[in-house]
Amino acid sequence: MSMSARPDAELVRAAQAGDTASFEMLYKKYAPVVHSILLGRLPAGDAEDVTQNVFIAAWTKLTSLRDPAAFAGWVARIARNAAKDHRRRSGDTLQLDVEYATKSRQAEAAEAAHALAAIRALPEAYRETLMMRLVEGMSGVEIAERTGLTEGSVRVNLHRGMQLLREALS
C-alpha cells in the first residue's frame, strides 16, 4: 500500500489552491483511516456513506486548515465529530452489519459481524488501530504514519487489542 512520497503539507497546500488531484492523493491515503474511525462507531453501511461526507466536508473547509502538516489529525477530528452527529441525527437508520456483510455469504457474514461487534466493544485506542489493521489491511508503519502515533504505540495497541479480541471471540 505504498502512497505518494509527497508530504501531506505539500498535498494540502496544492489542494487548498484548488488542485483536486492532490486532494485525491490525500483521499487515497486517509480514507481507510477515516473509515476505520467511523466503522468503530457506526453501522457498516453508514460508515461508508459518512466517509464520503467527511472528505466532501474536508475539501470544503480545507482553506481553514492553517497548518497543512496537521491534516491527519484534522480529518480524524472531522470524522469523530461526523460520527457523533450522524448517531444523533439518524439513530433510527441503523443498518445491520450482518446484512451489509451478506454481500459475501450468509455464514461468513454472521461471523464477520460478530468479529466487528467484538472490535467495537474494545477501548477506543485498540478499536481504531485494529480496524485499520484487520479491516483495512494497513501495516503498523502505515498506521503510525497516518495517525501520528509512534510505531511502538501502534505495536502495543495491536498486541493488546488482539489479545482482548481473541478473548472476546473465544
Partner 1 sequence: MNEEQLQELLSVYRHRRPMPELGQRRAAVLHWWLAAAAVLAIVVMAIWPKNQANWRAGFHVLRAGDTITTPVRIHSRVIGYVDVGANTILRYEGGNRLSLEQGTIHAKTISPPGIFIVDTPRARAVDLGCEYVLSISPNGGGVLRVAAGWVGLNNWGQSLVPQGAKAIIAPDGRLSPPLFEDSAAAFQAAIVRGDLNSALPLARRRDALTLINLFRFATPEERLRIYDRLNELVPAPPGVPRDAMSHWTMTTLEPWWPLVLKASGVSAIKKNKRLR
Estimate to the nearest angstrom the gap between the alpha carbon of 138 and the chain centroid.
Answer: 11
Contact call for residue 42 and partner 1 (CB under 8 A): no
DSSP structure class, residue 70: G
Contact call for residue 1 and partner 1 (CB under 8 A): no
Shortest CB 129 distance to partner 1, Å: 13
CA pseudo-torsion sign 146, 149, 150, 153? negative
Show the beta-strand stretches assigned E in 48-91. Answer: none
DSSP code per residue over 58-101: HHHHGGG-S-GGGHHHHHHHHHHHHHHHHHHH-TT----HHHHH
Q: Which of 3, 72, 95, 156 binds partner 1 (CB under 8 A)?
A: 95
Contact call for residue 65 and partner 1 (CB under 8 A): no
Contact call for residue 77 and partner 1 (CB under 8 A): no
Residue (141 or 169) nearer to partner 1, CB: 169
Contact call for residue 141 and partner 1 (CB under 8 A): no
Q: Contact, 34 vs 81, CB < 8 A?
A: no
Residues near partner 1 (CB under 8 A) = 18, 20, 23-24, 27-28, 31-32, 35, 39, 44, 47-48, 51-53, 55-56, 59-63, 90-118, 121, 133-137, 162, 165-166, 168-169
